Structure 1
Amino acid sequence: MPDLFAPLTFPRGRPMPNRLALAPLTNRQSHDDGRLSEAERAWLVRRARGGFGLTMTCASHVQPSGQGFGGQLAIHSDDFLDGLTSLAADLRATGTLGVVQLHHAGARADRELVADRVSASEVEGARALELDEVHRLREDFVAAAVRAERAGFDGVEVHGAHGYVLTQFLSAETNQRTDAYGGSPENRARLLLEVLAGIRAACGPDFQLGLRLSVERFGLRTLEMRELAAELFGRGELDYLDLSLWDVTKYSVDDDAQDQPLLELFAELPRGGTRLGAAGKVRTPADAAAVLERGADFAFVGRAAILHGEYAQLARDADWEPVPMPVDVAHVAGQDVSPAFVDYLRTFRGFLAP
């Protein structure tokens, strides 16, 4: 098996102590105004102390209009710096890489919390962003990254997956714009590329930059996303690309890429010094090792990390397996999962016992 506990270097910043990363998991534990809560701090720091080489926050919205869910961490104002700064210090003290995921939900913003929902084009009751608003969105992603750097985090990951606003621009189904941000694949990728270039220019030379990318669903075409990934690798602005695959063993369903394993389709691309991570049903140490065997550099762990705060330490035993689901509420409560997070987990089929 590949060594899950070998360090991993990046083009910039500190190395990752091992090949296991905590996935950016929605947990609804922040305060209603977006400030970090003690429950969310405890949840993240427990996983960092438990050995994860990289510990990422939940999706953190860069504009008030981008809030995707209640109890979401926010980073759209300096008002949030106190909590973010203390969290960054707590994470760094464990030796993990501390990362904030930058997010805007676009048309998927919570209807009860966001009255004026926006997207690339008019869709699902959301209105199309005006051109100056597109530029403001780009600058607010960049400002949020600068804010994360000021707070002391090692880096940020831009959320370009799961049908949120950047995916809404990438998708030919949801992007019907006729200006420079719509039409061709190059134009539809323009906002994402400008966000990444802006962050790279505005932040320091040791600040790490990642991107989470969906490669199918949400109106995306796998081979088009593969071409985008190839361009991103060639540009050299990213420290890592995070493939959100839902299942790391999944094959493409697109007609022009059918029967090709998604992970290998991207892992085989020349990527220079950019690292490749993958997420999707990574449960056991053997699952994580298989991600490396198939060409990625590190693995993101989600649900199994909810079940075990010390997942990364326990994974040193290659034969260890997480507890089977469904689990009792008492079990997850013992893993620093707060009542708000428990309520959210009740929406996951088969996760919690009745």
Structure 2
Amino acid sequence: MTDLGSPLTFPHGPSWPNRLALAPLTNMQSNDDGTLHDDEYDWLVRRAQGEFGLVMTCAAHVSRAGQAFRGQLGVSDDTHLRGLWRLADGIRDAGAVSSVQLQHGGRRSDTQLSGLPVVAPWDDVDKGATALSTEGVEEAVQDFIDSAIRAETAGFDGVEVHGAHGYLIGQFLDARRNDRTDRYGGSASNRFRIVHEVVAGIRQATSPDFQLGLRLSPERYGVALDEARALAREVLASGDLDYLDMSMWDVFKQPHEERHHGRLIDYFTDLPRGRTRLGVAGKILDGAGARQCLDRGADFVLIGTAAILHHDFARQVIADPDYRSLKQPVPAAHLTNEAVGPRFLDYLATNWDDFVS
């Protein structure tokens, strides 16, 4: 049985002091131009102080045109570097490994924030999005690579590519809608191409000590489970990744597609992975649930809700196997004491029925 408190090593970059990572969480606490705000700094550094092995930022936009929400941290321009340096230093000084999650909103971007047209893999009248040209896709790939270089320049230990939840990279994976006729659409191998190009490009452009992860959705968003499994198999075998992060919403759920049975997590823990590590995320709220994920074959777990409720959830579950996060909803004062800033608190209260009492 693997202990949650045992260190985790990777092909590149530093080892993590334990098997608990802070999930990349939308919190809307930075400035609208993508520069770091004190509230976002405090939120993340407090989780490092709470002994999460890896502390990852929210989805940070790699292109101004890809900005998806207000208060989103940016890594798309050198004007963001000052705050990124500060954040990387703060997380490191608190004892955690640091990572920036790289994201482009695609058809979910907000033109009112960016002042730029919305782009996507296909024309989308409902979203006001225009299909990227082949050259435009190549530029988007380069934006991810350039942003990874910028994160390394700022002192972060690594980055995670956001290929999940229906943002730009995940949109290319959508078998229902991505009917492009160039090399980025149609067949599964073409739809997977952008993932491989971004991952390989970052690995080639950054140092051997830079850590690289990828987040994927195992189902929905136009992604069939069989295809998600096939793509996971490919990226695990590539040797470019240090870890694959599967965002399952609920690690204990059954697959959405009725023809598949068992637990969703088991469709990925059985894949050959070599030295690449596998993490899972979704409704892990106590020590027992986290240990169960490791027992089923995951190398680490990513914590979202429980990390909002408790900055020191990692420390608590390592010290006490029976530790469980508070039941929701919780008073606003509790969240404020856990370094949840006013804008993050408003987001939780407005968008989640059961978070703030």
Please confirm whether the aligned pair reaches a TM-score higher than 0.5, indicating the same fold: yes
2:222 to 219, 222, 228: 219
Q: Which residue number in structure 2 is paired with residue 324 of structure 1?
A: 327
Return the letter of the residue paired with 2:311: G
Matched, 1:307 2:309: yes
Q: Distance in 2 between matches of 1:110 and 1:330?
A: 31
Q: Distance in 2 between matches of 1:7 and 1:28?
A: 31
Q: Distance in 1 between matches of 2:162 and 2:57?
A: 12
Gaps of 5+ in 1: none
Q: Which residue number in structure 2 is paired with residue 351 of structure 1?
A: 355
Return the letter of the residue paired with 2:23: A
Q: Which residue number in structure 1 is paired with residue 42 of structure 2?
A: 42
Q: Which residue number in structure 2 is paired with residue 171 of structure 1?
A: 174
Return the letter of the residue paired with 1:42: D
Matched, 1:78 2:81: no
TM-score by length of 2: 0.97
Give the alignment of 1:15-54 within 5 angstroms: 15-54=15-54
Contact 1:253 1:259 in 2 (8 A): no
Q: CA deviation at 1:111?
A: 4.8
Q: Which residue number in structure 1 is paired with residue 96 of structure 2?
A: 96
Give the alignment of 1:102-181 within 5 angstroms: 102-114=102-114, 115-123=116-124, 124-181=127-184
Q: Distance in 2 between matches of 1:156 and 1:281?
A: 23
After the TM superposition, list the runs of 4 or more consecutive aligned residues in structure 1 that deviate by more than 6 angstroms. Answer: none
Q: CA deviation at 1:130?
A: 1.1
Give CA deviations for 1:119-169 in whole Å, capped at 9, x if unaligned: 101123311001111110000100000000011111000000000000110
Q: Distance in 2 between matches of 1:324 and 1:233?
A: 36
SS of equivalent residue, structure 1 residue 163: coil
Q: Distance in 2 between matches of 1:20 and 1:273?
A: 18
Q: Distance in 2 between matches of 1:53 and 1:300?
A: 10
Q: CA deviation at 1:255?
A: 4.7
Q: Distance in 1 between matches of 2:195 and 2:271?
A: 20
Paired residues, what number?
A: 352
Q: Distance in 2 between matches of 1:147 and 1:50?
A: 27
SS of equivalent residue, structure 2 residue 246: strand
Q: Distance in 1 between matches of 2:325 and 2:250?
A: 17
Gaps of 5+ in 2: none
Give the alignment of 1:182-331 within 5 angstroms: 182-256=185-259, 258-315=260-317, 316-331=319-334
Return the letter of the residue paired with 1:54: L
Contact 1:248 1:281 in 2 (8 A): yes
SS of equivalent residue, structure 1 residue 345: helix
Q: Percent identity?
A: 52
Q: Give the superposed CA RMSD.
A: 1.1
Q: CA deviation at 1:254?
A: 2.1
